[in-house]
């Protein structure tokens, strides 16, 4: 199973009206020191607060700032944005995630399809190569409400709209550009069995039967995702979704969450997924520092791209059994090694 890469971009200078000030852009501030470490080195990685003019190394901040933020930037002392938890009210969460209230017959059909998939899995594993597995939702409805509430909190705090599919916006790449036949070297076609697992996952999410995942806030990593139950190897965690755009339009974008969707070898036809405005829980699953053996050991997910009915799709899939409480990490660079992950966990 080949891993695919997120497309990151190293920090670039922007006009003052578009980006926060960096010390190396401010010759009138010769004696600025980082408020955290007290040093004045690494000027190209020090941000100046737009309110108090104090300096902070991007790697000294908690959570670490992996890229130059877009727009004005305020230091922790000047920034007043406490995280407000999304209310754990069932009707609010149902509306937020656009959960469909299905009939009893439809719910029974979903349960039966899950049972059939479970019965057939053992035969497939023993006689053929291993297949992707659908996630197993928590049976406790109140707990699922907490899981969905944690994601709603992270999305609203980050200003991201919930979406569970790839979106094609005006001015970006059209749906017709998503043609797996253009993939350099070819793209693997999703098998019928794996497609059934993916469709089952999608159907369960629409019913409000959520994967066992919890979004938590960490002082170092920011929002991150941990398993809220045991997850088996080869389980589909989620699909990586967001706005689809041409790589040529994003080559100067400092976004650190872009994911390759279609790699043609040409920026004019290569597509990337941009989850900065619309996305799902994949937006908060962190890339791993793959420059160290310790970092690689923590990796428990892979990004895998498939041709699904003539459309390129990206899935995050477990590559080993994951215990409850374990945080999820995937290999951010893949084979490109083009994004600096040395400040990642």
Whether 23 is covered by a domain: the verdict is: no
Please state the rounded mean pLDDT for residues 133-139: 95
pLDDT averaged over the chain?
Answer: 81
- pLDDT score, position 333: 47
Structure tokens, 124: 């497939």
Residues 141 and 249 in one domain: yes
Residues 174 and 270 in one domain: yes
Whether 238 is covered by a domain: the verdict is: yes
Residue range(s) defining the domain that contains residue 176 = 90-100+130-330
Calpha distance 245→273 (Å, rounded): 7
Number of domain units in the chain = 2
CA 231, chain centre distance (Å)? 18
- pLDDT score, position 221: 79
Residues 63 and 172 in one domain: no
Residue 115 pLDDT grade (very low, low, confident, very high; cuts 50, 70, 90): low
- In order of 147, 189, 208, 218, 286, the CA distances from 143 in angstroms are 6, 35, 12, 21, 23
Structure tokens, 324: 């409850």
Residue 15 pLDDT grade (very low, low, confident, very high; cuts 50, 70, 90): very low
Q: Please tell me the least confidently modeled range out of 198-207, 257-266, 281-290, 291-300.
A: 291-300
Q: For a pLDDT cut of 90, what percent of the chain falls above it?
A: 52
**pLDDT tens-digit map of 149-159:** 999 999 999 89
Measured in degrees and rounded to the nearest 5, phi and psi for residue 154 equal -65, -40
Whether 261 is covered by a domain: the verdict is: yes
Whether 120 is covered by a domain: the verdict is: no
Q: Please tell me the least confidently modeled range out of 1-10, 47-56, 188-197, 240-249.
A: 1-10
Please state the rounded mean pLDDT for residues 249-271: 87
Residues 231 and 310 in one domain: yes
Least Cα distance to 213 among 137, 301, 317, 299 occurs for: 137
Please state the rounded mean pLDDT for residues 139-144: 93
Please state the rounded mean pLDDT for residues 222-241: 96
Calpha distance 239→194 (Å, rounded): 13
**pLDDT tens-digit map of 232-246:** 999 999 999 999 999
Whether 345 is covered by a domain: the verdict is: no
Please state the rounded mean pLDDT for residues 21-50: 75
- pLDDT score, position 277: 94
More confident residue, 298 or 198: 198
Least Cα distance to 283 among 245, 240, 244, 253 occurs for: 240
Residue 28 has pLDDT above 50, yes or no: no
Residues 152 and 280 in one domain: yes
Please state the rounded mean pLDDT for residues 49-63: 87
Query: Pseudo-torsion of CA 49, 55, 59, 60, nearest 10°?
Result: -110
Whether 20 is covered by a domain: the verdict is: no
Calpha distance 279→228 (Å, rounded): 20
Calculate ∠ Cα 246-250-254, nearest 5°: 155
How many helices (H) does the chain have, and how many strands (E)? Answer: 5, 15
Residue 110 has pLDDT above 70, yes or no: no
Calpha distance 299→306 (Å, rounded): 21
Residues 210 and 250 in one domain: yes
Please state the rounded mean pLDDT for residues 53-75: 82
Residues 146 and 218 in one domain: yes
Q: For a pLDDT cut of 70, what percent of the chain falls above it?
A: 76
Least Cα distance to 153 among 65, 284, 25, 14 occurs for: 284
Q: Give the CATH number of the domain where residue 65 resides.
A: 3.30.40.10
Residues 67 and 208 in one domain: no
Q: Which of 17, 45, 80 is the last residue of a domain?
A: 80
Residues 168 and 37 in one domain: no
For residue 271, what are the β-bridge partners? Answer: 246, 262
Residue 8 has pLDDT above 50, yes or no: no
Residues 138 and 69 in one domain: no
pTM: 0.76
Least Cα distance to 58 among 38, 34, 29, 82 occurs for: 34
Whether 337 is covered by a domain: the verdict is: no
Residues 73 and 208 in one domain: no
Q: Give the CATH number of the domain where residue 201 resides.
A: 2.170.270.10
Query: Pseudo-torsion of CA 328, 8, 261, 137, nearest 10°?
Result: 20
Measured in degrees and rounded to the nearest 5, phi and psi for residue 85 equal -70, 140
- pLDDT score, position 6: 46
Please state the rounded mean pLDDT for residues 130-147: 93
What's the order of all strands across the beta sheet hosting 21-22? Answer: 21-22, 46-48, 55-57
Least Cα distance to 56 among 31, 76, 72 occurs for: 76
Calpha distance 121→116 (Å, rounded): 9
Q: What is the DSSP letter of 24?
A: G
Report strand pairing: 271-274 vs 243-246: antiparallel
More confident residue, 283 or 105: 283
- pLDDT score, position 100: 84
Residues 166 and 277 in one domain: yes
- pLDDT score, position 30: 58
**pLDDT tens-digit map of 162-183:** 999 999 999 999 999 999 999 9
Whether 111 is covered by a domain: the verdict is: no
Query: Pseudo-torsion of CA 116, 122, 126, 127, nearest 10°?
Result: -10
Q: Please tell me the least confidently modeled range out of 88-102, 142-156, 193-207, 250-264.
A: 250-264
């Amino acid at each position: 199973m080949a891993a695919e890469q997120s497309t990151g971009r190293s920090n670039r200078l922007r006009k003052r009206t578009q980006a926060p000030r960096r010390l190396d852009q401010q010759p009138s501030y010769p004696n600025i020191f980082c408020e955290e470490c007290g040093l004045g080195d690494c000027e190209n990685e020090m941000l100046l607060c737009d309110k108090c003019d104090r300096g902070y190394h991007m790697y000294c901040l908690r959570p670490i700032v992996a890229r130059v933020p877009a727009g004005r930037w305020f230091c922790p002392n000047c920034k007043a944005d406490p995280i407000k938890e999304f209310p754990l009210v069932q009707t609010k969460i149902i509306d937020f995630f656009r959960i469909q209230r299905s009939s009893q017959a439809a719910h029974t059909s979903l349960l039966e399809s899950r049972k059939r998939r479970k019965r057939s899995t053992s035969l497939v594993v023993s006689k053929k190569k291993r297949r992707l597995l659908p996630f197993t939702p928590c049976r406790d409805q109140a707990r699922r409400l907490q899981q969905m509430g944690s994601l709603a909190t992270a999305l609203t705090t980050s200003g991201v709209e919930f979406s569970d599919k790839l979106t094609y916006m005006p001015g970006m790449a059209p749906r017709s550009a998503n043609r797996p036949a253009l993939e350099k070297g070819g793209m693997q076609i999703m098998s019928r069995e794996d497609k059934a697992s993916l469709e089952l996952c999608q159907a369960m999410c629409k019913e409000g039967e959520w994967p066992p995942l919890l979004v938590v806030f960490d002082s170092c990593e920011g929002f991150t995702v941990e398993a809220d139950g045991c997850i088996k190897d080869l389980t589909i965690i989620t699909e990586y979704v967001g706005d689809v755009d041409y790589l040529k339009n994003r080559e100067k974008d400092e976004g650190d969450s872009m994911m390759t969707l279609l790699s043609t070898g040409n920026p004019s036809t290569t597509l990337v997924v941009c989850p900065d405005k619309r996305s799902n829980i994949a937006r908060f699953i962190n890339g791993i520092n793959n420059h160290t053996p310790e970092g690689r050991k923590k990796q428990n997910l892979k990004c895998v791209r498939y041709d699904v009915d003539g459309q390129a799709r990206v899935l995050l899939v477990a590559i080993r059994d994951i215990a409850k409480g374990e945080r999820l990490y995937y290999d951010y660079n893949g084979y490109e090694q083009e994004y600096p992950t040395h400040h990642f966990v």
